[in-house]
Amino acid sequence: MKLTFCLLLSIILCTGILAKKHHESVEKKTLEEEVVNSDEKDELDLIAEDEAEEDDQEENSVKDYEELDREGGGYREGKSVQKHPCAKHHCGAGRVCVLDDKGKPACECITECSAEIDERRKVCSNHNETWNSYCELYRMRCWCDDGLDECAKDKYKHVHVDYYGSCREITKCAEDEMADFPRRMREWLFTVMQELAQRDELSKYYMKLEKEAEEDVTHKWANAIIWKFCDLDVHPEDRAISRHELFPIRAPLLAMEHCIAPFLDSCDVDDDHIITLAEWGKCLGLKENEIEDKCIAVHEKRPKE
C-alpha cells in the first residue's frame, strides 16, 4: 500500500511539474522527464526492497522461534507453539525487538547495519548531513536517545531522514506555490485514492469512503484527506501523525516536489512535532464541520499485519 501510494503520487507530481514547464523546448522536457522518472524509480525501488526485507525478517524470526525449545528461548505447550513475542511488538526506526531474561519482548538499538555501497541508499538528514543509510542514521538516534557512549552528538536525539539520496540544494517554495499547495494536495490525494480503488487495492472501508466521494461531491476532498491521515496514523494509532509517520509521503517526494516539506511543517501549527487530525484537515482546507474522526472504523478494518 505504501509503495503503491508513493508511486502513484510521484507520477501525479511529475505530470504536474512537466505540465507547468510546457513553454520549454521539447528536447529539454524529454530529458527532464527521463531524469525524474529514473530517480523516482530508483527511490521507490529502494522502499519496496526495504519493505520486502522487513517482511522476510519478521517471517523468519517467527519461523526460527517456533523451531526452538525452552532452552533456546522458545515456548512450547504440548503440540502447540506460541508465536514469537516480537511478531506484534513494534520498536520503531533504529531499534530491533529482542527477548529479555524473562522472555518478554524489548527494544534495543540495532547492533549492526549492512555495509552499503549503493549511492541510492544514502539519505539526507534534517541537519543537512548525508548518511550512508537509513539504518545508520536511526541507529545513531537510538544511541543518543538511550544515552549510550556511541552517540556522536547530542543533537542526534532528534535526527531524522529528510529525503532519499545525498543532500542537495532544494529550491525554495515560492509564496504563490505554497498558497496553491493545499488545493494540489487535495487533488493528488483524491486521484490516488480513486486510482487505488480502480485497482481494487483499498480495504472495504476505504472503498466505501471512495465510493461516497465519487457519488457526493461534498465528500470528495474530506474523505480523501481523512483517509490518508488515518492511513498514516499507524505506530501508534493515536490520532496524531509524527514526523516518522510522515516519512512515506515526505522523503520519496521532497527532491521532486520542493513545497512538500514546508507545507507539512506548516501543518504543525503548535510546533510540537506531531500533526493532529484537526491540524491536518485545516491545513488542507477543510472546514471544522468537515473534519470527522473516521480512524476507529478505518483501523478496525485494516488488514492484519
pLDDT in tens, 130-183: 999 999 999 999 999 999 999 999 999 999 888 888 998 888 999 999 999 999
For domain 175-300, give the fold.
Answer: Recoverin; domain 1 (1.10.238)
Q: Under DSSP, is residue 225 helix (H, G, I), strand (E, B) or coil?
A: helix
Q: What is the pLDDT of residue 217?
A: 82
Fold match between domain 85-168 and domain 175-300: no
CA geometry: angle 92, 94, 96, nearest 5 deg: 70
Q: What is the pLDDT of residue 95?
A: 93
Strands 161-164 and 123-125: antiparallel
pLDDT in tens, 261-295: 899 999 999 999 899 999 999 999 999 999 988 88
Band the pLDDT of 235: cuts 50, 70, 90: confident
Percentages of the chain per state (helix, strand, coil), in multiples of 5: 55, 10, 35
Band the pLDDT of 6: cuts 50, 70, 90: low
Lowest-confidence region among 54-58, 74-78, 150-154, 187-191: 74-78
* CATH architecture classification, 85-168: 2-Layer Sandwich (3.30)
C-alpha cell at 116: 552499503
Residue 6 · residue 46 · CB < 8 Å: no
Gap between the Cα atoms of 251 and 279, Å rounded: 21
Residue 76 · residue 91 · CB < 8 Å: no
Buried b (16+ CB within 10 A) or exposed e, 9-32: bbebbbeeeeeeeeeeeeeeeeee
135's enclosing H/E stretch is helix 134-145
What's the full length of the chain, in residues? 305
pLDDT in tens, 89-131: 888 889 999 998 888 899 999 999 988 888 888 999 989 999 9
Q: What is the CA radius of gyration of the chain?
A: 21
Gap between the Cα atoms of 156 and 145, Å rounded: 8
Gap between the Cα atoms of 259 and 249, Å rounded: 12
Band the pLDDT of 46: cuts 50, 70, 90: low
| pTM of the complete model | 0.60
Residue 193 · residue 1 · CB < 8 Å: no
Domain layout of the chain by residue ranges = 85-168, 175-300
Looking at residue 109, the DSSP 8-state letter turns out to be E
**Is 70 exceeded by the pLDDT of residue 260?**
yes
Buried b (16+ CB within 10 A) or exposed e, 118-128: eeebbbbbeee
